[in-house]
Amino acid sequence: MCPVQGCTGALDPDYCRPILPDDVFDGWGNALCESALADESDDIDSTFVCDFCVEPVDLKDSFNIKGCSHFYCQDCIVKFVASKLDDNVSSITCPAQGCTGTLELDYCRPILPTDLFDRWGKAICESVVIGPQKKYLYCPFVGCSALLIHEGPEDTNQAPCPHCKREFCAKCKVPWHTEFNCSMFQKLRDKGEDEMLEELAKNKNWRRCSRCSYYVERIDGCSYMKCRCGFAFCYSCGIQAVEHTRYCQSCKK
């Protein structure tokens, strides 16, 4: 209340925040939360209604936001943090519209699952390392997925991962596509994997086995080819070869 005797004006913590030390503001906010929870506990038998899920929740499962007077149930805060991380947001504020209260990693630790806590910590570290002006990407190889900062020229596509030592395309964000330039690869990717494989087979001059349909590549030698399924055929025309001869009786190659 206003300190002037007889005045009914009230002091609001958010209105007074610019002039209050952080510890005083936090203490005031926590006191208001405790008071509100105590009032609700008298009315509805130790429960309160969470503004997120709009469900009655036991008071012991409430969570006060640091730096403001809002509180929610613990389950909703956990889901809220997870949704923000899914959106690549590591600096998380109070879900109340216009509120500048913050959710801090260590402050939230008691209610967070270990994997979510670790994920949030990693996201915060990455945001500090990367900064707002740097471009970054992840190694596309399964088992690596290292965070990489793209500091080369804009037109640099082929790049080695310093962690797993394998090459990838920084533009397409996939393992390096030796047989195609980026434009061709992206067009083929839009068409689907089957057409991409067919285009690769055409460029490499592969042949498809007539029996098992697997692609076969000839490195050198004559046209006689025997697939791993046991089927023998002419690499030039694809017809079945009944014997190993230098020239195919059908196409004479």
Tens digit of each residue's pLDDT (9 = 90 or more) over 73-103? 999 999 999 998 888 788 898 988 888 888 9
Half-sphere exposure of 160 (CA within 13 A, CB side): 5
Has residue 47 got a pLDDT over 80?
yes
Report CA 18 to chain centroid distance, whole Å: 37
* % pLDDT > 90, the chain: 10
The answer to whether residue 7 scores a pLDDT higher than 50 is yes
Greater confidence, 194 or 79?
79
The mean predicted confidence, pLDDT, of the chain is 77
Amino acid at 48: F
Helix (H) or strand (E) holding 16: helix 13-16
pLDDT digits (tens, 9 = 90+) for 114-133: 999 998 998 888 777 665 55
pLDDT computed for residue 44 by the predictor: 44
Task: Tell me which residue has tokens 């002037």.
Answer: 4
Per DSSP, 102 falls in state E
Domain boundaries, position 28 = 13-130
Same domain (yes/no): 27, 108: yes
Structure tokens at 81: 């943090």
Q: Give the 3-state secondary structure of residue 140.
A: coil
CA distance 147 to 161: 10
**Rounded CA separation 192/187 (Å):** 9
Contact at 8 Å (CB) between 230 and 222? Answer: no
Q: Which comes out higher in pLDDT, residue 155 or 226? A: 226
Least confident of 58-72, 107-121, 182-196: 182-196
| 24 part of a folded domain | yes
Assess if residue 7 is contained within a domain.
Answer: no
**Number of folded domains that form the chain:** 3
**Rounded distance between C-alpha atoms, residue 121 and residue 126, angstroms:** 9
CATH number (domain holding residue 34): 3.30.40.10
Q: Examine residue 198 and state whether it is found in any structural domain, yes or no.
A: no
pLDDT interval class at 109 (50, 70, 90): very high
Residue 171 in any domain: the answer is yes
Residues with Cβ within 8 Å of 68's Cβ and at least 6 positions away in sequence, in order, are 13, 14, 29, 94, 96, 99, 100, 101
Both 156 and 247 in one domain: the answer is: no
Q: Which of 38, 12, 8 is nearest to 25 (CA)?
A: 12
Of 130, 155, 175, the one marking the end of a domain is 130
Residues 98 and 166 in one domain: no
In terms of domains, do 139 and 178 share one? yes
pLDDT at 150: 65
1 pLDDT tier (thresholds 50, 70, 90): low
Residue 8 lies in a domain: no
Q: Which of 92, 112, 130 is the last residue of a domain?
A: 130
The overall pTM is greater than 0.85: no
Q: Give yes or no: residues 147 and 123 share one domain.
A: no
> Quick count: other Cβ atoms within 10 Å of Cβ 235?
20
3-state secondary structure (DSSP) of residue 56: strand
Reported as a pLDDT band with limits 50, 70 and 90, residue 32 is low
Report which of residues 121 and 8 the model is more confident about: 121
106 and 71 in a common domain: yes
Q: Where does 93-218 have alpha helices with state H?
A: 105-108, 114-130, 182-191, 193-204
The CA distance from 72 to 57, in Å, is 9
> 183-208 as b/e, with b when 16 or more CB fall inside 10 Å?
eebbebeeeeeeebebbbbeeeebbe
Asked if the structure places residue 223 within a domain, the reply is: yes
CA gap 80, 204 in Å, rounded: 50
Residue 62 shares a structural domain with residue 94:
yes
